[in-house]
Structure 1
Amino acid sequence: MKQLTHDSTILLVGGGTWGCSTALELARRGYKNITVLDSSPIPSPISAGNDVNKIMEEGFPSSTDSDEDYVWNRMHQLATNKWKRDSVYRPFYHPTGFVMAASQDDARHEVDSYIKSCQHKVRLLSTPEEFRSTMPEGILIGDFPGWKGFFQETGAGWVFARGALEAAYHEATRLGVQFVTGESKGKVARLLYDSENVIGAQTVDGTKHRADQTILCAGANSDQLFDFERQLRPTAWTLAHIQMTDEERKLWKDLPVLFNVNSGFFMEPDAQKGELKFVDEHPGYCNFIKDPETGEEMSIPFAKHQIPIQSEQKAREFLRQTVPQIADRPFSFARICWDADTPDRVFLIDHHPKYKSLVLAVGGSGDGFMMMPAVGVAIADELEGILELKLKKGFRWRPETAVGRNWRDTQNRWGGGGDVRDFQKVDEWTHIRESVAA
């Protein structure tokens, strides 16, 4: 393997959240020959980061962390610093506060654990009146059946996801990163190997992009390009939008995030279209099929700008509990949103032990966007061999954790029917007008 220099050729497979943040970080560090490949123009309509908003929780130092907690808190700290101070990311963080609750006994410990570890002041909530008091009068008029939780007024909020993704892409481009996109020119068909290493990737049009270092950061599609020994489970969630009136947009501006670990969450309407995004909470969907070669169960991602009727019903149930005045309005948009779960839901950011010129940057496990700026730093540090030891240990290549893995494990997620859902068993989907904008 060639020694890494600022003139080394670096190839990123995947131009989503992690691809753009890493390309930006590397360009800022002075690397001159960076190419990013993606099947769609940036931001891709199927990228999980191409979204109106994502929850953001700030990190804080702690001297009592276990190794696992340290990794989580350290990445939160790095991300928080970027969201608050970095000129590219700062405009997109909205520290509006955070309401978290559970409405079923099986998940109350999740809320209790958050309260115990939180370094910010919280106000406990246990009655409908107390939940309603967290937002302007006339918004939360639901009955909040069985809800118990808290209001954290500082240290949390949301980020404008698409805006941050586009800003990172444009700044990386300005700094000289080359983005090659499209179903022919940008879509990777396979990685390229010599006798000992990965030497780049070949796109659908037959072009061979050779590189000194290759970074595989293709999200839920990564395991179609490389054998992760079952460390990645492509998992999808469902989201929908409702169109708000001009009057509602004014009233609902700057709301805290409302999140029930059993039923769903929403944030304020987006500034561009005035649509309210909301999510029904569940352990996720997989598209389960049998591997034709091994017979093992696997999950194959696909794009769809509709959601199962089952999710629509659960989403409307969440709205009826909180904001029933809009619960029966037609959806203006919906889609499924893919990520990839590792067995322990900790990121996988590491050089492959056999292919030393291949860096794997995968396994967002539902937290990949919140950590977007910090992930770019971590991947660049791993490439340079300077990733701090506790993070390196946490993010290591660890196929031993996937031995005998149960791909229907809920992985400490709640809601829905309490199980991982199967797209193969979906009988009916919504019929919202197809759109390519998230």
Structure 2
Amino acid sequence: MAPSPLTHNSSLLIIGAGTWGCSTSLHLARRGYQHVTVLDPYPVPSPIAAGNDVNKIMEHKELKSKTPDARSLASAICSRAALKGWKTDPVFQPYFHETGFIVSGHTPALIQNIKEDEIDTTDADFIQLETAEEFRKTMPPGILTGDFPSWKGWLSTDGAGWIHARKAMVSAYTEAQLLGVKFITGSPRGKVMTLVYENDDVIGAQTEDGIIHRADHVILAAGAASDRLFDFEKQLRPTAWTLCHIQMTPAEAQQYRNLPVLFNIEKGFFMEPDEDQHELKICDEHPGYCNFVSDPLHDGEMRSIPFAKQQIPIEAEARARDFLRDTMPHLAERPLAFARICWDADTPDRAFLIDRHPKYRSVLVAVGGSGNGAMQMPSIGGFICDALEGSLQSELKHVFRWRPETAVERDWHATQNRFGGPYKVMDFQTIHDDEWTRIEGGSA
């Protein structure tokens, strides 16, 4: 069945008020769409949204090859547009900190992988770091005090740094509201229980309070929760990562300002303390955690189902402290002030999934951030609008298409070219109750 004609008077329903949902609502409003409604079970910023974070990495990599593969070209197009947005869009510009980015490894295989996939060694913008002293000199004295055993890396200062993801998301949400977007959030009013089908198409969504929200077009942008609302034919795997914070003093927070992001592709990364709570964020690096349980929505098949938790496995805390012992041993034993698991949705090839469904033509899916969604915030909504309007550029349309053929006999445990930890996807079901952190104030 053909969808209703798309006009500025069409009713548009966005499911999900996270990074992509807020960005899409803003771009729709800027294009003149008059009837945009957004549903989410939590107020903005949602406590389970991947973008509800004090900082995320922003890195734009130019293409190394003159004949790049389709996915690399699409990634470069998106990150270039995102960087422009972070630098020029007044809604987002205050939240981009172009402090630089260090990518590094500590084994020959990892270092070779960086040379092949991460950087252009002929680009003068990349400064090679060969010794511990060279790493230490990238930041003010007294910050990087570690020995960096066997580490080698590259520093880039152009188009790279970090974003305050939470503030940027709230900024997009606030501006979208000013432009007329209607947000219905919180349970039960904003919690979508099911899509509503009629005449072989989707005509809206029903929330927990029993209300059916009808719309001419539905944009499903609920991140890792999307798989619970729609059959993606195994194209989405909810995958979680782990982050933790260390409390710094106001004086330390001032000392640690404007630092480049330090990222080891196997051990983890850190970014400067946030300006409000003075907490320094550290993430351990690994292929991800899933929560494999029998899923009644998929005939009892073992699938990864997200859940919220403001604690992390003790093994993740140990990996974060191992990263600190290499880089900032003076912080390695400090207590954690905050921790949580952070969910995203992986596609089989880690490319975004932004397309109208081939059968339910009124549905546009906008999912599959695959660990790279937050930094796209200024521009991703524009690409989603393009897909809705049927004008998405060909280089993106092919890569972001509905593609269940890539998920046939999908290996749910595939590491998808991620490193660190035990070099395998881990399962929260194997983490016992006493194997989680016990940070005061965190949720169970």
- Bin of the TM-score, shorter chain as denominator length: over 0.9
The one-letter amino acid paired with 2:241 is W
Find out whether 1:429 has 2:436 as its counterpart.
Answer: yes
Alignment partner for residue 207 of structure 2, among 203, 210, 215?
Answer: 203
Find out whether 1:45 has 2:47 as its counterpart.
Answer: yes
The one-letter amino acid paired with 2:67 is T
Greater Cα shift, 401-410 or 98-107: 98-107
TM-superposed deviation, 1:399: 0.3
Equivalent position of 2:164 in the other structure: 160
Aligned residues of 2:96 and 2:162 also touching (Cα < 8 A): yes
TM-superposed deviation, 1:73: 0.5
The one-letter amino acid paired with 1:395 is F
TM-superposed deviation, 1:119: 5.0
Equivalent position of 1:243 in the other structure: 247
TM-superposed deviation, 1:66: 2.3
TM-superposed deviation, 1:219: 0.3
Equivalent position of 1:72 in the other structure: 75
TM-superposed deviation, 1:229: 0.5
Alignment partner for residue 132 of structure 2, among 117, 128, 152?
Answer: 128
Aligned residues of 2:61 and 2:119 also touching (Cα < 8 A): no
TM-superposed deviation, 1:380: 0.4
Q: Distance in 2 between matches of 1:306 and 1:297?
A: 24
Q: Distance in 1 between matches of 2:72 and 2:124?
A: 17
Secondary structure of residue in 1 paired with 2:274: coil
The one-letter amino acid paired with 1:242 is I
Alignment partner for residue 25 of structure 1, among 24, 27, 44?
Answer: 27
Equivalent position of 2:183 in the other structure: 179
The one-letter amino acid paired with 1:383 is L
| Correspondences of 1:4-403 after superposition (within 5 Å) | 4-60=6-62, 63-113=66-116, 114-116=118-120, 121-292=125-296, 294-403=299-408
Q: Give a deviation string over 1:380-421, Cα, whole Å, max 9, x none.
A: 000011000110000000000000110100000000010111
Aligned residues of 1:235 and 1:284 also touching (Cα < 8 A): yes
TM-superposed deviation, 1:182: 1.0
Aligned residues of 1:291 and 1:297 also touching (Cα < 8 A): yes
Q: Give a deviation string over 1:207-252, Cα, whole Å, max 9, x none.
A: 0000000000000000100010100000000000001112211211
Q: Distance in 2 between matches of 1:68 and 1:205?
A: 41
TM-superposed deviation, 1:374: 2.1
Secondary structure of residue in 1 paired with 2:409: coil
Aligned residues of 1:38 and 1:187 also touching (Cα < 8 A): yes
Q: Give the structure-1-normalised TM-score.
A: 0.97
Q: Distance in 2 between matches of 1:185 and 1:176?
A: 19
CA RMSD of aligned residues (A): 1.4
Q: Give a deviation string over 1:330-387, Cα, whole Å, max 9, x none.
A: 1000000000000000000000000111000000000000112221111000001100
Secondary structure of residue in 2 paired with 1:279: strand
Change (3 A) 1:183 1:102: same
TM-superposed deviation, 1:287: 0.2
Aligned residues of 1:140 and 1:322 also touching (Cα < 8 A): yes
Percent identity of the aligned residues? 57
Q: Distance in 2 between matches of 1:382 and 1:393?
A: 11
TM-superposed deviation, 1:125: 1.1
Count of aligned residue pairs for this structure pair? 436
Change (3 A) 1:118 1:2: farther
Secondary structure of residue in 2 paired with 1:370: helix
Secondary structure of residue in 2 paired with 1:84: helix
Q: Distance in 2 between matches of 1:390 and 1:67?
A: 7
The one-letter amino acid paired with 2:19 is T
Aligned residues of 2:243 and 2:283 also touching (Cα < 8 A): yes
Q: Give a deviation string over 1:82-106, Cα, whole Å, max 9, x none.
A: 1111110111110001111011344
Secondary structure of residue in 2 paired with 1:353: coil
Q: Distance in 1 between matches of 2:124 and 2:100?
A: 11
Q: Distance in 2 between matches of 1:179 and 1:193?
A: 22
Aligned residues of 1:82 and 1:373 also touching (Cα < 8 A): yes
TM-superposed deviation, 1:289: 1.4
Secondary structure of residue in 2 paired with 1:374: helix
The one-letter amino acid paired with 2:73 is Y
Q: Give a deviation string over 1:114-171, Cα, whole Å, max 9, x none.
A: 2227856111112111111111111101011121111112221000111100000000
User: Which stretches in structure 1 are left out of the alignment for 5+ residues?
Assistant: none
Q: Give a deviation string over 1:161-187, Cα, whole Å, max 9, x none.
A: 111000000000000000001110000
The one-letter amino acid paired with 2:22 is C
Change (3 A) 1:117 1:21: farther
Q: Distance in 1 between matches of 2:24 and 2:7?
A: 16
Greater Cα shift, 103-112 or 203-212: 103-112
Q: Distance in 1 between matches of 2:348 and 2:124?
A: 30
Greater Cα shift, 147-156 or 214-223: 147-156
Aligned residues of 1:59 and 1:75 also touching (Cα < 8 A): no
Aligned residues of 1:289 and 1:298 also touching (Cα < 8 A): yes
